[in-house]
Amino acid sequence: MGLDISVLVVDWERVGGFAAGERWGRLEDAAYPDGCEDVFRDGLPDGWVRFPDEVAEWSLRYEFRSTSGSFKAHFWAGKRWEDVREQAVPELRAALDAFLSGLFWDPYGVVVPPAGTGPGAPEIREFVPHEGGARNPYFLVACPPRAVPVLAAAWSVAEPLLDGLKGPHTAHADAPGRWIADHDEFAVLLREWAEVVREAHARGWGIVGLPF
């Protein structure tokens, strides 16, 4: 069995209104409410689901169409970016560094502007305390609302330049038969993340990725 990821956009103020010790459990319930078999997609853009109870007031779940829920696709997208980033034009390199490091990519030896994002941000651990571990890890993505506009701005620069990365990706990062096999799969996944960022930005909410 591999690691999965469940991505939510959430109303930070509503989550903050719960007792600190309850917040992790509330987010788990928002991703998969106990005893709730029904999900609603009507009136929502593709990929989004909500549930017919209180959690729908402060959360939405995004279902990645290109990954079957596995975190492996996101991990390998980060690796593909490491393979090709030196060949990207400077504007695209800076923008995708900011976008990806604010979501699921943990850069090694790369300096990116701090945005208060990422799975290890101290403010997130204080905001949503949780005893993690190898069998019960912490957030895979944790982006507070104040950092979402940073990601949206980065994507606005990256998106029009992304297709220009196809040639370099083919030469330096393609991996046929594996996760994120080529530029097309890389771009599809990033555009799905852009949809998550767009929705969070429009609502003034944050983004979390839970490890299941």
Q: What is the pLDDT of residue 132?
A: 63
| Locus of tokens 């459990």 | 25
Distances, alpha carbon 28 to alpha carbons 33, 100, 163, in Å: 7, 24, 36
pLDDT at 2: 75
C-alpha span between 188 and 87 (Å, rounded): 20
Nearest to 78 by CA among 47, 116, 110: 110
pLDDT score, position 78: 95
115-149 in b/e burial notation, b at 16+ Cβ within 10 A?
Answer: bebbbebeebeebbebeeeeeeebbbbbbbbebbe
Supply the pLDDT for residue 119. 46
How far CA 191 is from CA of 26, 65, 162, 187, 196, in Å, comes to: 28, 11, 10, 6, 9
pLDDT for position 120: 46
Q: What is the pLDDT of residue 189?
A: 96
- What ranges do the domains of the chain cover? 6-210
Distance CA 97, CA 103 (A): 10
Low-confidence ranges of the chain (pLDDT < 50): 116-117, 119-120, 134
pLDDT of residue 109: 63
Q: What is the pLDDT of residue 84?
A: 96
Which value, in Å, is the radius of gyration of the alpha carbons in the chain?
A: 17
Whose tokens are 């989004």? That residue is: 48
